[in-house]
Structure 1
């Protein structure tokens, strides 16, 4: 488990993270989301002891990172896929890491096989594509068979097959009871991967909840309706106080009402319905609605809602 308690990080007069507290539970993939400049990378670096908090602390299974003996056995992380000496082979890089933390050599070949790099294990890492480098970074994180794992943008450079692989892989790690924290800008992928979310903006906590709860409470629910008498039905729905938008070919989008409520209005007024479909908002829509005020750099079109 990861516990952030009152984390604050200042760089001179700039506050990168401000009194941030959250918990990442084992057995679930937790997505770590926020606009650019929200403080995600700074927070992950503080979790790993790479940056010292100005205030607050982080505990990993109850212990600060700098107090953990042989930390690779407890915590694995992928923060920068290209953090490898370009002239070292993938296998040599992992051997160096294994020896530094007392990890058996056999584990090197196990993780190379796990991430699909066995055939290129003796090739120079400097010649790897970004996708291959990501896989090597994941192998490095897994090397000590840790219970806690942090991944920063792990799907960068991966093709669709690789993205599907990492999604299932992270979910498999969580199913083993591990703590998995994943930062990503690919919101459509996070919606499929993460069960829980920690969302921050301008260094402060915006939300911590399940992915489904975040979407449901952050975005407006709507119901799509098709009816032959759509104009009359639109008037009936507005008379009930529901917001109705009229689309092409008589399609109505109704907000502020459930499918059951709309069906009852139709039945009570003899309106034939050809379609009644609740529309669930996407994670991207919910994220944009909730974090819009926390975006560091906005274009004129973004500010106007274009």
Structure 2
């Protein structure tokens, strides 16, 4: 389990992390999301003892990282895929990590196989693509078979097959009862991977909840309904105070908000209106994220319409 309480970090006048408290439970993948500059990487560095908090604390299974005897056996992390001596081979890099934590040498070949790098294990890490470097970093995180894992942007540089692989790997690790904290800007991928979210902005906690609850509360859902009696259906719904719009992508189709499929279907049936389609469109994690964090974006573009009209 990972626990932060009142975690705060200042760099001179800049408050990077502001009284941040959350708990990462075992058995689930928790997405760590927020706008650029929100403090995600700084928080992860403080959890791993790489940065000292100005105040507050971060604990791993109830202990600071610095108090762990063989840390790789408790927590594994990928923060920077290129943090490898370029002239070392993948195998020698992992052997060095294994020796530093008194791990069996045989474990190196196991994790190389697990991440798909066996064929290039003796190549210099400096020749690796970003995707291969990500896999090597993940191998290092898995080396001690830890119960807690932190990944910062783990799918950077991976092809679609690699993205599916890391998604399945994280789910598998959580299914084994491990705590998995993953930071990513790819929100559609987070929606497929994380069952829980910790959302921060400008170093502060915005919310911690299940992914489904976050989307339901912050994004707008709608009902798509298609009927050959569109005008009659629209009148029936509007008489009940339900908001109705013509769908931009199809004839005989309405987009209905402020209700659910059950009410639309019941009203149509009562009025004798034939329906050819009745489907719920749920809001996306991306929509929910933009709605919740819009005021916490540090770097925002100017007025796009103004740029378009001026030709700039």
Q: Report TM bin, short chain.
A: over 0.9
Q: Secondary structure at the match of 1:249?
A: coil
Alignment equivalent of 1:288, drawn from 273, 287, 290: 290
Question: CA offsets per residue over residues 52-111 of structure 1, 9 Å max, x none?
Answer: 111111111111111111111111000000000100000111111111111111111111
Alignment of 1:270-281 (within 5 A): 270-281=272-283
293-302 vs 35-44, greater mean Cα deviation:
293-302
- 2:257 is matched with which residue? 255
Question: CA offsets per residue over residues 271-303 of structure 1, 9 Å max, x none?
Answer: 211111011111111111111111111112479
Question: How far off its partner does 1:231 sit?
Answer: 2.4
TM-score, normalised with respect to structure 1: 0.96
Question: CA offsets per residue over residues 141-188 of structure 1, 9 Å max, x none?
Answer: 011111110000111111111111111111111111111000001111
Question: CA offsets per residue over residues 171-225 of structure 1, 9 Å max, x none?
Answer: 1111111110000011111111111111111111111111111111111111001
- 1:170 is matched with which residue? 170
- 1:52 is matched with which residue? 52
Q: Secondary structure at the match of 1:21?
A: strand
TM-score, normalised with respect to structure 2: 0.95
Rounded to whole Å, the distance in 1 between the matches of 2:30 and 2:294 is: 21
Question: How far off its partner does 1:235 sit?
Answer: 2.7
Q: Secondary structure at the match of 1:198?
A: strand
Alignment equivalent of 1:298, drawn from 281, 297, 300: 300
Q: Secondary structure at the match of 1:206?
A: strand
Alignment of 1:4-43 (within 5 A): 4-43=4-43
Rounded to whole Å, the distance in 2 between the matches of 1:41 and 1:124 is: 27
- 1:139 is matched with which residue? 139
Rounded to whole Å, the distance in 2 between the matches of 1:54 and 1:144 is: 30
Rounded to whole Å, the distance in 1 between the matches of 2:253 and 2:117 is: 51
Q: CA RMSD in A?
A: 1.5
Question: CA offsets per residue over residues 21-80 of structure 1, 9 Å max, x none?
Answer: 111110111111111111100110011011111111111111111111111111100000
- 1:223 is matched with which residue? 223
Q: Report how many aligned residue pairs link the two structures.
A: 305
228-237 vs 205-214, greater mean Cα deviation:
228-237
- 1:244 is matched with which residue? 244
- 1:199 is matched with which residue? 199
Q: Secondary structure at the match of 1:300?
A: coil
Unmatched runs of 5 consecutive residues or more in structure 1: none
- 1:73 is matched with which residue? 73
